[in-house]
């Protein structure tokens, strides 16, 4: 099953958690030793409890970290390729997160989060042509011409949605979310290491 097919079939829990995981992986560290700023939202992914309040708190925390006068980049393949623009794009998608914990608005948001995560990985990947068309193909199931970072992120998104689908409505659903968090944290480490190397090479 392709990534797009999985997103189309996911329930509210799967959409919220997979979308949040995509943003969590891409957000660069604040550099202040603070806890991961998106983590409060994970507690709401199971059933939407306190989703609106936690979402507002996360937005406020991230806005405090934003450089003064920063203009968010777009969330499509025209985005930046440096950690500042990545953080701005994550904040833009958090600002667009639906207040209603319901399948259809969450589906559109989760789809946008998936695309952003793949695009960020593409920007830090080995040079590759294709842009939006490459991402469209890989989300639909075609991986020809996809670089290693994008390929890894695609597998990670598919694995996360698999875990969430398998544990939906079960007594192990909480453990499923913890497994998703572990998978996402592993991917976060990989991307942050690449971002750090890119920043050092530019210095």
Among left, alpha and beta (phi > 0; psi -120 to 50; other), residue 158 is alpha
User: How many domains does the chain contain in total?
Assistant: 1
Q: What is the pLDDT of residue 77?
A: 43
The two tokens of residue 171 are 């007594």
Helices (H) and strands (E) in the chain, counts: 9, 0
Comparing 75 with 88, the larger pLDDT belongs to 88
Nearest one of 178, 28, 46, 2 to 91, comparing CA atoms: 28
6-40, pLDDT tens digit by residue? Answer: 999 999 999 999 999 999 999 987 665 556 889 89
39-59, pLDDT tens digit by residue? Answer: 899 999 999 999 999 999 999
Angle between helices 173-202 and 148-167 (to 10 degrees): 160
Quick one: what percent of the chain has pLDDT higher than 90?
61
The whole domain housing 167 covers 3-202
Model pTM?
Answer: 0.89
């Amino acid at each position: 099953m392709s990534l797009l097919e999985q997103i189309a079939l996911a329930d509210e829990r799967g959409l919220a958690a997979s979308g949040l995981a995509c943003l969590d992986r891409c957000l660069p560290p604040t550099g202040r030793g603070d806890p991961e700023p998106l983590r409060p939202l994970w507690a709401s992914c199971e059933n939407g409890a306190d989703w609106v309040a936690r979402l507002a708190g996360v937005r406020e925390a991230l806005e405090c970290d934003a450089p003064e006068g920063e203009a968010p980049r777009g969330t499509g393949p025209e985005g930046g390729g440096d950690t500042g623009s990545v953080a701005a794009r994550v904040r833009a998608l958090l600002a667009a997160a639906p207040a209603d914990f319901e399948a259809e608005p969450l589906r559109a948001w989760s789809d946008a989060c998936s695309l952003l995560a793949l695009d960020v990985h593409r920007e830090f990947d080995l040079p590759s042509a294709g842009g939006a068309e490459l991402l469209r193909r890989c989300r639909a199931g075609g991986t020809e011409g996809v670089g290693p970072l994008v390929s890894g992120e695609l597998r990670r998104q598919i694995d996360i949605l698999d875990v969430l689908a398998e544990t939906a409505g079960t007594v192990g659903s909480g453990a499923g979310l913890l497994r998703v968090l572990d998978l996402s944290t592993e991917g976060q480490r990989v991307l942050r290491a690449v971002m750090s190397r890119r920043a050092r090479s530019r210095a």
